[in-house]
A and B are shown apart, each in its own frame.
Chain A
């Protein structure tokens, strides 16, 4: 019987958050604190001819002005706490401040620390930058052409290129009964977390730089140390509870700036981005341009998929190689296809940095392959669910890399449950409105690339009064990443959750648990915590066995006690047990490490074999109402069904699906990031429209629990997967309603209307 597992126990952090007591990054202040500000490029591509800072430096109340020449180590490899060095084709470049050239609008050029934010801003305005504008390269197609100027002086415009070569596509297409082809485009997306990037840094008496920051990756302390040429042990991250991340706080944001300013001034410094600064200059989801060709037999068996994927890698490669790799591995989706050919390219342009965002390459290709499935189902006259079910991956089939997936796959059941939950279409409210149903299925990995050799550590200590302390360096984005560790420890040790004190993100005092990215914390840190808890549990049971005269196998842990299964009257409370252990010198603490499966680094650009530890599968079914006259869209119903392995806390799991689904809804329909010549034209929430409460329906969630995941108790990861497959479900539903195929997101009413008008023209002609 489980004590906490499978129960919707309220999150430990929620209680503080509803009282406004959680101290987010910008809520923190230190006496004597200065304020930082970043001077940013006004051109998307330019040479910097001169940079004059004297006037700013002389302004009263200004304590530091820093430019690239003051940065000890200005350019380095972007690392994310992995234990391996994986080579240039898989690593991005991180530059602190622009040096001789700027590559994107808003690129940091100089830093200021001053007595007030206004003064810091004024000082920035007094720094003179002499630019020689260059012709920008704004589109990856152009950037790929031979002879075009390189966006980065030391890097080819094609930053990475991967291939899938499975079977023989040429022969398979030659024998296919039908072939559908399409070109698809997906746009930028901004994470739009409500907490802008922020942090405070100060230098200790012994010269250690402390950075209290909202970050998904506290292990960036190593890179910040390298920026300053300091030993890694001299930079300490104190991660805060994060006001939303979604991948946007995965790359370094304010930390190096803070460290440089605090180091130079020896004063505490705070730096918080404005919303416009955040929207204009932080990383985005990669736009992709995708050409797809899918071949099938008359009875709906897919025989070949060919895809060419071009991602806009922006002006610094950041995580672009990995995102491209994920997209490449996901290119054929959750289907068994014998013949797959993929060529993928990440291409640099003078546009904002593109990097990690929930789904990490999976949502982009998913839009393309699920649009192809819908086309195929119409061409063959086979029901969309039926067609997918004839092709879904099954245990023992292989992915497009040829890796044999030897775990059970519940995708067929998930798609069926979601689709049937929609039921028959209701009658339209009025004749202008057409109702459509759409299905989208997909897969998304959890856990990092296996060649990164990912690890996590967790520490548990029992206290004499039966309370406990957990220390685990897991950044918490609000997804219950910290809380769930308490649930696991409580389950194994019979602890009361409210008596567990959790320390999560001190890079020097909490065991390093890796990044909160890649849907990995429950899998990695959950397993590390489970491992630690089980060592302690064994110690407890052995001690209890001696005390009660009952064999260990006959003992079980219940809340606050250990008791004999066969003779329940024989029991011992947690408190006397722990005290006895203490008296007899037993260690009441354990630190454990969990290692993901390790594979070797791909030898060349042809990607083969295992790339991720495992995948989560799921589907969305949606109902839309389209106004035939205006193209206006309403979405009355969204049903999601995911195999989550095991829902350790169903309320948290539903929350991930509801939130991810609605973020995907925004990606599909409302979030229209306009960019002209490298400059974002939508730098506010009045222009860049994320869904509000009135835009969306109650998302209906169905959880499948196959208990086949690699996480604790058979759980799979669910942080990123809900972002996948809602977009094509919506566009497929639009097609079902009015016959308009949307091939570029977002599916705005204008695009739908254009499609409707084209129909009218055709019919008229």
Chain B
């Protein structure tokens, strides 16, 4: 068996610096779950295939199981819990609840982070772009429709708070229930 060498790291997790000794082969996900106790970051595969471990690392959404903890020394990481003060994340969380986008919930933290990152980059995506944006995040429960509905709703709500809402544009992007909710929000409800 290979002898693993210990590495000392200091990583900012959700705004707090966490110092720890990790092994050279440990992933950022190992560090987050086992040392920083950020259990909102889930491990569905540990090999980059499922997206449940998605976090914001160095400003970008990444699968934390694919990053070495040692590499992350001195870097900044935000998981779902570290983004919850952000109004866009709050809109997403509310929309996921409202639209029924949460079943077992195991994909949800990673899905929320991926959705947040998608809307950061493109505040007005089409449903197709949304699908593309979360294509690295598997969900076995929902069939994705209600997740896309939720992202649409959050995007719409967010555009509204930005003051750049265009009703016709939004209606185009939303369908069914999400649309009804958006209308409601646009009319000043919720």
Contact = CB atoms under 8 A, between A and B. Distances in A.
Interface of A: 8, 10-11, 13-24, 26-27, 122, 125, 191-196, 241-246, 274-275, 477-479, 651-652, 654-655, 658-663, 684-686, 690-694, 696, 698-699
B107 A658 contact: no
B47 interface: yes
Given A193-B104, A241-B105, A694-B135, 20 more contacts: A8-B177, A10-B97, A13-B102, A17-B105, A17-B108, A20-B108, A194-B107, A195-B42, A243-B106, A246-B140, A275-B45, A658-B143, A660-B143, A686-B47, A686-B49, A692-B138, A693-B135, A694-B131, A698-B145, A698-B148
Main secondary structure of the interface of A (DSSP, over half): loop
Interface string B129-151: 01110111111111111111000
Max count, chain B CB within 10 A of own CB: residue among A17, A19, A195, A655: A17
A656 to B, nearest CB: 9
Interface string B87-106: 00000010011111011111
A648 to B, nearest CB: 13
Nearest to B142: A659
B99 A651 contact: yes
Contacts of A8: 100, 177
A96 B167 CA distance: 61
Given A27-B39, A193-B106, A194-B138, A662 B44 contact: no
Nearest to B150: A18
Contact of B100 (A122, A245, A655): A655
B1 A654 contact: no
A431 to B, nearest CB: 24
B158 to A, nearest CB: 16
A658 B143 CA distance: 5
Contacts of B144: 658, 662, 691, 693, 696
A655 B103 contact: yes
B11 interface: no
B140 A192 contact: yes
A275 B47 contact: yes
Nearest to B134: A693
A81 to B, nearest CB: 22
B102 to A, nearest CB: 4
Nearest to B113: A20
Interface in B63-103: 79-81, 84, 93, 96-100, 102-103
B146 A655 contact: yes
B24 to A, nearest CB: 13
B42 A24 contact: yes
A196 B49 CA distance: 14
B81 A19 contact: yes
Contacts of B43: 26, 196
Contact of A243 (B46, B104, B131): B104
Contact of B104 (A10, A242, A652, A658): A242
6 contacts: A17-B102, A19-B93, A20-B41, A193-B104, A275-B47, A658-B143
B27 to A, nearest CB: 13
A14 B105 contact: yes
A651 B100 contact: yes
Nearest to B136: A692
B46 A274 contact: yes
Contacts of A191: 140
A22 B80 CA distance: 13
Contacts of A662: 142-144
A244 B100 contact: no
A18 B93 contact: yes
A18 B108 contact: yes
Nearest to A649: B100
Max count, chain B CB within 10 A of own CB: residue among A14, A27, A192, A275: A14
